[in-house]
Amino acid sequence: VDYALFFWSRFNDERDKNPGPEGYRTALVASLHRSGTVIIISNCFVTLAYGCTMLLPYLNVWAYLGLYIQAMGGCASAGFYSVTLTPAVAALFPRFFDHGTDPGESVQKALWSRLPKPQNIWLCWARIITKGPMMFFIPLLAYACMVPFVSLVFWHFKPSFDSERQGSRDDLIEQKALARFEERFNLGQLYPVTLVLEAEPQGPVRGPMVPADTNSMLQTGWSASRAGWSSGPAPLAFIGQSIDYNTNVALALEFGNATCQLAHDILRQTRGKDCEVKSNDMLGLWWMPTLNDTGGLGDHSCTVSNPAAIVVSGFRGVRDPLKHIPPDMKKHMPTMLQESLSHDGKRLLFKVMPAFRPTSPEAFSLDRVLRDQILKEPRGFISNGQRYNLKVQHTSSMQVQVDASLGLGQAVPKVLGIFAPLTAIAIGISFASAFLAIKLALTVIVPIITTYGMAIAVYQLGWLDRLGIEMLSETGGLDFRMMVLTAGILFGFAMDYDLFLFVRVYEHRLEGYDNLSAVKRALVETGPVITTAGTMMVVSFFFIMCSHTVFLRTMGFIFTVGVLFDVYVVRTMIAPVFLSIAENLNYWPRKMPPAVKKWE
């Protein structure tokens, strides 16, 4: 739509300069030459923005990589046919595109004659914004209003990882049913946090088998017998079995002690917090809260001090000893524990199944605790004369999203390091202006950041909750992918309008107009076109903003407010002022012709 409006508005201007049948082709060629420059340069920047976005990691995890490939291809195709197909069709069928008789022309003239001419409105505004104190007061006021929102982005932004809330619709009965289901049942069992516990060898300490290890096993078995689990010396019955701690170190009692210590650390670190984990929320071969029902574990869930642990630790694998466990104990042991041991016997799975949703804010808090306090804490143990380190890794729905967010955060500066220099160099070469890239940063980048600040104020801080409007109510914050996915599109719209204005100023200055006259004339000529194109985009994005899906609603808000702010504030109040006060810097180092014309 933007490219079409740019071309046909230019064609109308050129056609007025070249009337008559013989002037049609001249106007068409001039329109293609001048508007084609804006279309090609703008299209290259937008296509480059999509291409650089594709370099970011994890996009294919959410199937966004294919979407951006299509967007980049579609954008390049739109630019190509705008400078090839459109003028070709206009050249083949001049009677359909040239000024001619139209049955509704008299009605249109009667209607438009009663309305003020847009050019007169824009001329009045151009005179105000390009001279006097208003030229400085209005832009300063606009940037003063941007500062609070820019600060929100850098100091108050907290991304939302609640993908369930971001992608759900609260107006569907299915979503309400799911909410009731979540209130009654523990979803942690369906989406557990899985800890992978691995014994990493650190070197030998003493011989492969010493009396201290045997005494430890006998003492543990004797304690278990006192607890009532066995009527005789149960552990001695398994001394003769084949024990190989080198290949099944995860079944050693020392590994079990380290696992139980890990479980106690999780209980301690989460106690009293919104992500509190209880003893019954964890499960592993060395931590079985369901066995408490038998009364053999007392007031804790660690299985190291009961005969079942001796049975497990006395065999090469986990499947065989499970067959020898007493039936009254085995019925309390979940089936998934049979597959929790790796084939090399060095890794064991440990499940954490909290009561909250897997992508809720509580799940994010638990992920922070695991990353900052549990995974980083060193845990070592000695088994069979070997020193081991208990390496802990975790995986969950929240872990995948947090890792993706960290990966995106590390990749964005690198991508910007590629995109920003390429854009600055391309703009500088296209217009032989070194200052233009800096001006674009102030009139494109800062407004985009301001748009995100507005979205944070509405959807994270809830500044408009008092209005009682659902589409403007707090949603827990912006999705952590939102800025990455929308920045390229906002940049494309802003570049279109900014270049469209600057190219007109550039052309008029080359024609010999003084700088202020060039700015005023360009603003009058491009103002109606930019406003029309931007308003059409705003209306389109507003309907996306009306969506019941939170993710689409926030995306629609960013596009709506971003384009609205760019069209009605930046292009009318800020960009013309920069072009007016920086006369020499606008075109430096290129030398412009002497100013011999003036336009009022």
| Residues 278, 272: Cα–Cα separation, whole Å | 11
Rounded alpha-carbon distances, angstroms, from residue 37 to 6, 207, 390, 507, 590:
11, 80, 63, 11, 18
pLDDT for position 409: 92
Q: Is there a contact between 69 and 6 (Cβ–Cβ < 8 Å)?
A: no
pTM of the predicted structure, to 2 decimals = 0.85
SS3 state of residue 183: helix
Give residues with Cβ within 8 angstroms of 18, minimum separation 6. 24, 26, 27, 30
The residue count for the chain: 600
Residue 56 CB neighbours (<10 A): 21
| Residues 40, 33: Cα–Cα separation, whole Å | 11
Give the DSSP letter string of 441-504.
IIIIIHHHHHHHHHHHHHHTS-TTGGG--GGGS--SS-BTTHHHHHHHHHHHHHHHHHHHHHHH
Rounded alpha-carbon distances, angstroms, from residue 226 to 223, 298, 317, 429:
5, 12, 27, 86
Rounded alpha-carbon distances, angstroms, from residue 118 to 9, 14, 125, 172, 453:
14, 18, 11, 45, 33
Give residues with Cβ within 8 angstroms of 562, minimum separation 6. 447, 448, 451, 486, 490, 493, 494
Tokens of 362: 């509580």
- Closest alpha carbon to 438 in 502, 377, 391: 502
Q: Which residues of 367-387 are buried (b: 16+ CB within 10 A; e: fewer)?
A: bebbeeebeeeebebbbbebe
Residue 352 CB neighbours (<10 A): 22
Task: Name the strands in the sheet holding 347-352, side by side, starting at the edge strand that comes first in the sequence.
Answer: 282-283, 347-352, 193-204, 386-395, 380-383
Tokens of 80: 């190509």
Q: Is there a contact between 587 and 432 (Cβ–Cβ < 8 Å)?
A: yes
Q: Is there a contact between 456 and 156 (Cβ–Cβ < 8 Å)?
A: yes
| Residues 410, 264: Cα–Cα separation, whole Å | 34
For tokens 């995860």, the residue is: 250
SS3 state of residue 546: coil
- Closest alpha carbon to 35 in 50, 14, 49: 14
Long-range contacts of 464-468 (CB under 8 A, 24+ apart): none
Continuous H helices in 282-360 = 307-313, 319-324, 327-330
- Closest alpha carbon to 89 in 28, 133, 147: 28
- Reduced to 3 DSSP states, what percent helix, strand and coil does the chain have, rounded to the nearest 5? 65, 10, 25
Q: What is the residue type of 251?
A: L
Can you name the residues that pair with 160 across neighbouring β-strands? 479
Rounded alpha-carbon distances, angstroms, from residue 439 to 66, 435, 519:
33, 6, 15
- Closest alpha carbon to 279 in 253, 308, 299, 258: 299
Give the DSSP letter string of 318-340.
SHHHHHHS-HHHHTTS-GGGGG-
Rounded alpha-carbon distances, angstroms, from residue 44 to 5, 289, 431, 559:
18, 61, 15, 21
Q: Is there a contact between 497 and 535 (Cβ–Cβ < 8 Å)?
A: no
Digitized pLDDT (tens) for each residue of the chain, 600 residues in all: 788 888 888 898 888 888 888 889 999 999 998 888 889 988 988 898 888 888 899 988 888 888 889 989 999 999 999 999 999 999 998 888 876 555 555 665 666 666 677 788 899 999 999 888 889 999 999 999 999 999 999 999 999 999 988 988 877 887 788 778 777 777 777 889 999 999 999 989 854 444 444 444 434 433 333 333 333 333 323 333 444 445 678 888 899 999 999 999 999 999 999 999 999 899 888 888 865 544 444 446 787 766 455 445 444 444 444 454 556 555 555 666 767 888 888 999 999 999 898 999 999 999 999 999 999 899 999 988 899 999 999 999 999 999 999 999 999 999 988 888 888 888 888 888 888 888 888 899 999 999 999 999 999 999 999 999 989 999 999 999 999 999 988 988 888 898 899 999 999 999 999 999 999 999 999 999 999 999 999 999 999 999 999 999 999 999 999 999 999 999 999 999 999 987 778 888 888 899 898 987
